[in-house]
Amino acid sequence: MMSTITKRIGVYCLALAMVVSTTGCETMGPLMGGDTANLTPAERQLREDETKFRNTVIGGVATGAVMGAVAGALFAGLMGGNSRDMQRGAIAGAVAGGIAGGMDGYATAKMQQAGQQQVRAIEAAVVDIQQDNARLEQMIASSDLVLKEGQQRLASIKSDLTAGKVNAKQAEDARKREENNIAVLNKALEKARETRSEYAKASQQLAQGNPNAGRNLDAEIARTDRQIAQLERNLSEYSRALAVSRA
């Protein structure tokens, strides 16, 4: 009996380790690529800020859900349960981890933390999105600086190429630096849109039956929208400068 339990522990611990590894992939260091030795302070800061923003408060709910589901399934398995027991354990663990069907679990977790009081739950969600908005704001400030630097470098590349100071290959190699910066911004924009969507769903869940209760949360979502628009503008201007340098 003990041997069987020991084997199960080994197998399930391996499964848990694999899940931990998988859920950690998204937060493993900034998107770099290419030569990072000559990055400016602004470029380094952008990458640090992008990494911090990827670790959003609301995003932690998904990780908690995965870990909770695995823990629930492992417990059922270690207790000798069959596949159905393990499935039930996974569902229970997912709920405990903070999710129950999409972002429903975020609203559920907030309601539980607030003692089932709607207003307090919404206030807690407002605090979460304010933290994520602050991270996004810092990253956009860094992107403003990187954009200006990139525009200047791209203008120099074009003039140097016209003057024959660099050849086409050298110019294209130099542009890879700007392409990498644009890639970092694209990843940030993707995450910002995803985060905004998740909070919008949470707002609908939490404010059910009392739309006015979610006004503060909706105001912060509107702030996220404005920041997303600014990030989109920075990306558009950066991409345009890159295209002009090739014209």
pLDDT digits (tens, 9 = 90+) for 212-230: 778 899 999 999 999 999 9
Model confidence, pTM: 0.71
Q: Are 231 and 183 part of one and the same domain?
A: yes
Q: Are 97 and 188 part of one and the same domain?
A: no
- 108 within domain boundaries: no
- 111 within domain boundaries: no
Q: Are 64 and 50 part of one and the same domain?
A: no
Ranges of the chain whose pLDDT falls below 50: 1-2, 5-7, 9, 11, 13-34, 62, 65-66, 69, 94-95, 98-103
Calpha distance 142→138 (Å, rounded): 6
Residues 6 or more apart whose CB falls under 8 angstroms from that of 40 comprise: 146, 149
- 202 within domain boundaries: yes
Look up the CATH number of the domain holding residue 231.
Answer: 1.20.58
- At 224 the pLDDT is 97
Instruction: Select from 65, 62, 77, 66 the least CA-distant residue to 7.
Output: 77
- At 107 the pLDDT is 76
- pLDDT tens column, 114-140: 777 778 888 889 999 999 999 999 999
84 class by beta-carbon count within 10 Å (0-12 exposed, 13-18 middle, 19+ buried): exposed
- 109 within domain boundaries: no
Is the separation of the CB atoms in 111 and 205 below 8 Å?
no
Q: What domain count does the chain have? A: 2
The shares of helix, strand and coil residues in the chain, as percent rounded to the nearest 5, are 85, 0, 15
- At 209 the pLDDT is 72
Q: Are 186 and 93 part of one and the same domain?
A: no
Q: Are 130 and 91 part of one and the same domain?
A: no
- 107 within domain boundaries: no
Q: Are 127 and 245 part of one and the same domain?
A: yes
- 37 within domain boundaries: no
Instruction: Select from 25, 65, 221 the least CA-distant residue to 128.
Output: 221
205 lies in which domain range? 42-55+116-247
Written as one letter, the residue type at 80 is G
